[in-house]
Structure 1
C-alpha cells in the first residue's frame, strides 16, 4: 500500500540516526523555554523519560530506558547508563 504523504528515503532508515534530532525538534515544537527540575535521591529510570528543560539529579541515577532532555543534565553522583537493548532482540549499533 503506497502512502503518498510519506517521502521515499532510499535505503534503510535507522531510527537511531534520528535520535540526536529529537531534542531540537521538541524545543522547536514546545518552545525555547523549558522548566528546571531537580530529582532528589537515587533513581532507577526503567521507562522512557522526557523532560523539556534543564534537569539536576542529586543522587545516583540508573538509566535503563530511553532518556531525552531538551536542556542540560547535571548529576551530583554517579550516572549508570545501562544498554537497555541487552535483553531485547534489537542489535546494538556495533552489531549491524
Structure 2
C-alpha cells in the first residue's frame, strides 16, 4: 500500500518498491545460478524478502558501531566484556 499523498512521494515509493523487487530477483538469479540443481520455481520471493529484512536488521559485517570519544581518552571500553575480543584491553 502506498502511503504518500503527493505525486513526487508516490513516484519515490514506486521506485523504491521496484528497486527492492529488482534486488530480490537478482538475488534469486544468483541463487539458482550457484545451485544448478535448484529449479527457479522453488525460489520464494517471500523467503527472499524475509531473509533480506533479517540481514538489514542484523547488519552483520556492514558497519562497526562508533565508539564514544570520551571513553577512548580514558582508556575504558564502552562495550561490555562479552562484546570485546579476548585480546582487547579495557
TM-score calculated relative to the size of structure 1? 0.24
- Greater fraction of residues in helix: 2
Q: Which has the higher contact order (CA 8 A, sep 6+)?
A: 1
TM-score calculated relative to the size of structure 2? 0.25
- Work out which of the two has the higher radius of gyration on C-alpha atoms and give 1 or 2: 2
